[in-house]
Amino acid sequence: MSIEEKLKVIPLGGLGEIGKNITAIEYKEEIIVIDCGAAFPDEEMYGVDLIIPDVTYLLNNKEKVKGIFITHGHEDHIGSLPYILKQINVPVYGSKLTLGIIEKKLKDSNLKFEYKLNVVAPGNIIKLENLAIEFIRTTHSIADSCAIAIHTPLGTILHTGDFKIDYTPIDGLFMDLQRISEIGKEGVLLLMADSTNAERGGHTISEKSIGETLNKIFSKADGRVIVATFASNIHRMQQIINSSIKHGRKVAFSGRSMESISEVARELGYLHIPDDFVIEVDEIAGMDNDKVTIVTTGSQGEPMAGLARIAFSTHKKIKVEPKDLFIISASPIPGNEKLISRVINQLFKKGADVIYEALEEVHVSGHAFREELKLMHRLVKPKYFIPIHGEYRHLKHHKDLAESLGMEENKIFILENGSVFEATKDNAKLCGKVKTGNILVDGLGVGDVGNIVLRDRRHLAQEGMVTIVVAIERESYTLISGPDVITRGFVYVKESEELIGKVKEVAKKELEYALENQIIEWYLLKSNMKRAVETLIYEKTKRRPTILPIIMEI
Amino acid sequence: MSIEEKLKVIPLGGLGEIGKNITAIEYKEEIIVIDCGAAFPDEEMYGVDLIIPDVTYLLNNKEKVKGIFITHGHEDHIGSLPYILKQINVPVYGSKLTLGIIEKKLKDSNLKFEYKLNVVAPGNIIKLENLAIEFIRTTHSIADSCAIAIHTPLGTILHTGDFKIDYTPIDGLFMDLQRISEIGKEGVLLLMADSTNAERGGHTISEKSIGETLNKIFSKADGRVIVATFASNIHRMQQIINSSIKHGRKVAFSGRSMESISEVARELGYLHIPDDFVIEVDEIAGMDNDKVTIVTTGSQGEPMAGLARIAFSTHKKIKVEPKDLFIISASPIPGNEKLISRVINQLFKKGADVIYEALEEVHVSGHAFREELKLMHRLVKPKYFIPIHGEYRHLKHHKDLAESLGMEENKIFILENGSVFEATKDNAKLCGKVKTGNILVDGLGVGDVGNIVLRDRRHLAQEGMVTIVVAIERESYTLISGPDVITRGFVYVKESEELIGKVKEVAKKELEYALENQIIEWYLLKSNMKRAVETLIYEKTKRRPTILPIIMEI
């Protein structure tokens, strides 16, 4: 075996963070990419709509990239596809539902080129020159999710994707533990496994238990039932449908993603509802309230999504009515607690009843808890292990879990985005890093908002802005107009006339001094003026607004 | 009894929100105020440091206000005192520790007048002309907390303050359930009770259980133990001290509020630690790591507080060392989850171990769960009930709880801030509202930041700002300089030269058209220019920055 026989694993996103999952696996002249996710901005990333991974490494090795293999249809696994395919248009592989969701997404983004989507049935294998990629059925909070085994000349890599072990899945399609076990028995070089819930002891509850809770709740409801949940959770949707049918209710889907995903899932045979049980939102008005279920988006309290619009009376078609029963069938994603609470308060104020996680078991997690992770490790018995999908705390706890099962510490690698894991026949180690990072999407702009722009936005947000404008005659070097002061987000100007007056005074003094002393470098003049005004404002208010001095040369 | 014999209860804060608790109780020529709290801004209140209540009602009835009675020393019950006393300097009554904390706070705010603080021992009664105010010991997550009974000619009001029922409090001072029971037996007109945990079933766990967990953790630690908790939780601090002494560790207090409250609590005899077990942070370096405990602020992940500074290596005196064991002895307040997670990740990355609520029972709640609330209702058996301290959802669940115990719905009143509850001998009802609201404190400014300023900050935060400056000659009505375009927080200008060029073009075109057509109203000219630029930018980028057109007249 020559020295070149190396297998590289390079996560370009999803490590040290929740979201934006994407990993490159490279052997000789072949690179395959597992998942192509996006992340959502946190509240300090003002104005940013979406975060996608920096895939410079793939662009630099474009000719090697043979395909993108998707484990399941969640945004943090598919959300960057419209952006990445624009740059590297390789075939995309995934299960039927996954590709159905992707196709819808790509259509919506109006790509001006042909893309190649290849449906793979779980159990099937895609053979490349050296690599063979096998899809293995798993269970998760979206239907048709898969783990991916990559068979290489140096051994097999098993990438779990997101998973939980649900012994009673809604669609009856069990996770293929037997195949995973078989691969484990044959020998696995490297396990890459979901760490999201590595801190949570015990075992997740089956999705099926939600159905029982829903039935109990539905049986007591005598007005409309309005359920907010993730649009992608087809199994949850199915259970809401089942409870509705059982209790003689017809179902309306409301919200863009809810309508679009339910449509795809019905077309592809993943969501089952007789046609005469589906109604349009427009038809609700004509029906008895206790014959209606509405499934809507907005379970995270997002101000522009269905649930919040209904709560705050900005929904065009659905108004809260007294006997309405709302069910929020989701957990708050950290950071969203206040948004959700605002919606709950508002619904209660309007006289509706609201059921949420704190009160009833209306949500279960889609990510394996510790006992499930242990089963995965025991079945796979890998030579090496890389915990994936998680912040550092989750990766660290997953590492500790593997050690508690007897794995040696030096066989476990905690990677960062961009870390290069390199395995040879006999050895494995981390070898430096490749370029990676966050590309921020704001409106149509991809990557034109970065740290400096965000820093400015944060500064503007904290204390607003004070603009000072003066006009200076170039020739005579005299002040001919100003200083004028315009503020935004600083103080109520009417109540702060005195302060603004002082700002003008101080700016004028600096200016006159500079002009008298022939300080002809505008940038010097500006920075003097800025400093003087800053000092004054901080003294008077203990605030530091953005100061923007503008000099017009006439 | 004449028609004037009315008892009014007016919450000026703390209803429909968590925080800023303050209630006025009025009978004839006397008003007493229960608590005087502040609230902390949510993440959309950019740049705001603190929220205090609008007390216009008290100012308008200044001569009636006889005193402020404080239930306990938490910020949401005392935080507005420095601001409110400036406007209404009446005596403040509270238990010894409560007033100790208040005194420290008032000293720190450099008030330029004498204030009157009167220590009241639990069990004592302050007699005014018509009202008699009785302090009753309770248990809560701060020592020396009290409920307050207001005895009036129309009956007794019992205001619980914040409470939990802890049968084994650390200081051995039990909640005076017997007195509460006695008052209940005599007859209570109105109960006002803490609703914070009205959604949580069962009973809180005793603070004492934390001591056992801490002992277990301490017995395994072989480096330093660093505990982050709320500075005001004296009992928690005492238990950390007890575990430290038991395991031969000396204790350093770090962080401004931790140092100051531990000092007050020791002085007043609420915190017990032998002098030779207290060390300064400076002394840590010279000691064996397994002989040191550090108690620090920052349990909410606040970037400027002790814990985050230690984690991110910006703490001047404490650096993370490999065997350090961190304990975060607090629950995340909703909205702080991400901040805390960031700190946890960082500590793990630095090789320390971290224990937090998800892993071990290192925190208990200080607010009564449902079974405790039921006990309170059963003991007090009030004629009327007002749930207090909570968002609408909590008030509503507390109301439902009271009904489930047999109370009639029309005897329960959910109030908003400013609602006037009016009781006569035979009746009770809501009678309109008084002025109330949030006064925002930003730096030294109190009330000079309001909705418009915040709206501007939000807008600036989302998409930044584009300033367009032109100079126009007044006489000849011609453009003599500009348009210049300056942006902040919008895009990287270098990479967007083309866009900025187009903005200038469009602005110039609008301007020239206006000048040619003698549109001499500057505001019209500005708004035309603004609209044209807005349209252009939205088309090109799908963003809506703040556009600020400035015209200099020369």
- Other C-beta atoms within 10 Å of B289: how many? 17
Give CA–CA dist B136/B128, Å, rounded: 18
In tens, the pLDDT along B516-537 reads 877 767 788 888 888 899 899 8
| pLDDT score of B3 | 57
Query: What is the C-alpha to C-alpha distance for residues A454 and A243, in angstroms, rounded to an integer?
Result: 47
User: How confident is the model at residue A447, as a pLDDT?
Assistant: 78
Structural domain of B463: 451-553
CA distance B101 to chain A (A): 25
Over residues B288-304, the mean pLDDT reads 94
pLDDT band at B335 (very low <50, low <70, confident <90, very high): confident
Least confident of A427-441, B107-121, B513-527: B513-527
Among candidate residues B142, B144, B139, the one with its CA nearest the CA of residue B120: B144
C-alpha B411/C-alpha B423 separation (Å) is 11
Residue B436 included in any domain: no
Is residue B439, in this structure, part of any structural domain at all? no
User: Domain boundary residue among B294, B322, B355?
Assistant: B355
pLDDT for A249 equals 97
Q: Could you tell me if residue A290 is inside a domain?
A: yes
Residue B28, in any domain of the structure = yes
Q: What is the separation of C-alpha B311 from the centre of its chain, rounded to a whole number of angstroms?
A: 25
Residue A376 forms part of a structural domain: yes
**Whether A367 is catalytic:** yes
Give the tens place of pLDDT for each residue, B349-360: 999 999 998 888
The CATH number assigned to the domain holding A467 equals 3.10.20.580
A442-445: Cβ within 8 A, 24+ apart: A442/A47, A442/A48, A442/A49, A442/B463, A442/B541, A442/B543, A443/A49, A443/B541, A443/B542, A443/B543, A444/B540, A444/B541, A444/B542, A445/B491, A445/B541, A445/B543
| Phi, psi of A224, deg, nearest 5 | -70, 150
- A22-60 tens-digit pLDDT: 999 999 999 999 999 999 988 788 888 899 999 999 999
Residue A386 · residue A9 · CB < 8 Å = yes
Show the CA angle centred on residue B69, arms to residues B68 and B73, nearest 5°.
110
Instruction: Provide the shortest C-alpha distance from residue B339 to chain A (in Å).
Output: 9
Nearest residue to B33 via CA among B7, B5, B62, B70: B70
List, in order, residues 6 or more apart from A8 with CB less than 8 Å away: A24, A25, A26, A27, A420, A421, A422, A423
Residue A2 lies in a domain: no
Pairing of strands B125-127, B117-119: unpaired
Residues in B touching A442 (Cβ below 8 Å) = 463, 541, 543
pLDDT surpasses 80 at A518: no
pLDDT, position B4: 60
Name the band, by pLDDT with cuts 50, 70 and 90, for residue B553.
Answer: confident
Q: Which residues of chain B have a CB within 8 Å of the CB of A476? A: none
Domain co-membership, A438 together with A459: no
**What percent of chain A is modeled with pLDDT above 90?**
71
Average pLDDT on B433-456 reads 85
Q: Classify burial at A360, counting beta carbons within 10 Å of its beta carbon; exposed 0-12, middle 13-18, buried 19 or more.
A: middle
Is B443 within the bounds of a domain?
Answer: no
Contact flag A462-B462 (C-beta cutoff 8 Å): no
Same domain, B196 and B213: no
Q: Please pick, among A144, A166, A194, A324, the residue that the annotation labels catalytic.
A: A194
- Residue B483, preceding peptide bond in cis (omega within 30° of 0): yes
DSSP H helices, A247-282, are 256-267
Q: Domain ends where: A390, A411, A442?
A: A442
The mean pLDDT of B436-443, rounded to a whole number, is: 89
Query: Which residue type occupies B508?
Result: K
Measure CB to CB from residue B471 to each of A463, A467, A554 and give the nearest one.
A554
Q: Looking at beta carbons, which residues of chain A come within 8 Å of B344?
A: 393
Of A367, A377, A394, A397, catalytic: A367
Residue A315 CA to its chain's centroid (Å): 25
| Least trusted range by pLDDT, from A292-296, A419-423, B20-24, B298-302 | B298-302
Residue type, A121: A
CATH of the domain at A236: 3.40.50.10710
A393 and A280 in a common domain = no
Q: Is A462 left (phi over 0), alpha (psi -120 to 50) or beta?
A: alpha
Please provide the distance, in angstroms rounded to a whole number, between the alpha carbons at the two ends of chain B: 75
Closest Cα to residue A399, out of B353, B30, B83, B290? Answer: B353
Of B183, B179, B150, whose CA–CA distance to B9 is shortest? B150
Domain membership of residue B157 (yes or no) is: yes
Kindly state whether residues A234 and A175 are assigned to the same domain.
no
Residue B213 has pLDDT above 60, yes or no: yes
B47 plus B155 within the same structural domain: yes
What is the spatial distance between Cα B285 and Cα B12, in angstroms, rounded to a whole number?
Answer: 49
Q: What is the pLDDT of residue B493?
A: 66
Give yes or no: residues A243 and A376 share one domain. Answer: no
Report whether pLDDT(B445) > 80. no
Partners of B341 on chain A (C-beta within 8 Å) are 334, 391, 393
Per-residue pLDDT at B315: 94
pLDDT digits (tens, 9 = 90+) for A137-148: 999 999 999 999
Contacts of B393 in chain A (CB under 8 A): 341, 344-345, 348, 354
pTM of the model: 0.88
- The pLDDT, as a whole number, for residue B329 is 94
Contacts of B107 (CB under 8 A, 6+ apart): none
In angstroms, rounded to a whole number, what is the distance separating the alpha carbons of residues B177 and B159?
A: 14
CB B262 within 8 A of CB B305: no
Measured between alpha carbons, how far is B187 from B183 in angstroms, rounded to an integer? 6
Considering the domain architecture, whether residues B137 and B93 belong to the same structural domain is answered as: yes
* B323 within 8 A of B224, measured Cβ to Cβ: yes
Distance from CA of B520 to the nearest CA of A (A): 19
The answer to whether the bond into A387 is cis (omega within 30° of 0) is: no
Cβ count near B335 (within 10 Å):
19
Q: Do B349 and A392 touch (CB under 8 A)?
A: yes
pLDDT of B495 strictly over 80? no
State yes or no: B233 annotated in a binding site.
yes
Is there a single domain that holds both residue A107 and residue A152?
Answer: yes
Specify the DSSP element, H or E, that contains B529. Answer: helix B522-541
Catalytic positions of B, written as ranges: 194, 367
Q: Is A77 annotated as a binding residue?
A: yes
Three-class SS of residue B552? strand
- Cβ-nearest to A482 among B442, B489, B552: B552
The answer for residues whose C-beta is within 8 angstroms of residue A42's C-beta and 6 or more apart is A335, B338
| B370 and B321 in a common domain | no
Q: What is the pLDDT of residues B174-210, one digit of tens each?
A: 999 999 999 999 999 999 999 999 999 999 999 999 9
SS3 B23: strand
**Helices in A36-117 by DSSP H: which ranges?**
56-60, 75-78, 81-87, 96-108
Sign, CA dihedral A100-A101-A106-A108, equals positive
What tens digit of pLDDT does each residue of A330-387 get?
Answer: 988 888 888 999 999 999 999 999 999 888 888 999 999 999 999 999 999 999 999 9
Kindly state the average pLDDT of the residues A212-230.
Answer: 95
Q: Which pLDDT belongs to residue A301?
A: 92
Kindly tell me if the per-residue pLDDT of A1 is higher than 50: no
Query: Both tokens of residue B405?
Result: 């115990």
Q: State the residue for tokens 């003689």.
A: A248
Q: Closest to A489 (Cβ–Cβ): which among B42, B341, B457?
A: B457
Per-residue model confidence (pLDDT) at position A3: 56
Q: How far is CA A530 from CA A460, A503, A537, B78, B484, in A?
A: 15, 10, 11, 39, 19
Q: Known binder of ligand: residue B159?
A: no
pLDDT of residue A250: 96
Q: Is A364 marked as binding a ligand?
A: yes
User: In whole angstroms, what separates CA B406 from the centre of its chain?
Assistant: 34
Asked if A150 and A290 sit in the same domain, the reply is no
**pLDDT tens-digit readout, B56-89:** 999 999 999 999 999 999 999 999 999 999 999 9
**pLDDT-based confidence at B1, cuts 50/70/90?**
very low
Give the number of A-B residue pairs with CB atoms closer than 8 Å: 199
What are the C-alpha distances in Å from B546 to residues B497, B526, B543? 19, 13, 10
Mean pLDDT is lowest, of A59-63, A335-339, B6-10, B26-30, for A335-339
B196 & B212 share domain: no
The pLDDT tens digits for A231-263 are 999 999 999 999 999 999 999 999 999 999 999
Indicate whether A20 and A68 sit together in one domain: yes
| Domain stops at, among A306, A335, A355 | A355
Give the total number of structural domains in chain A: 3
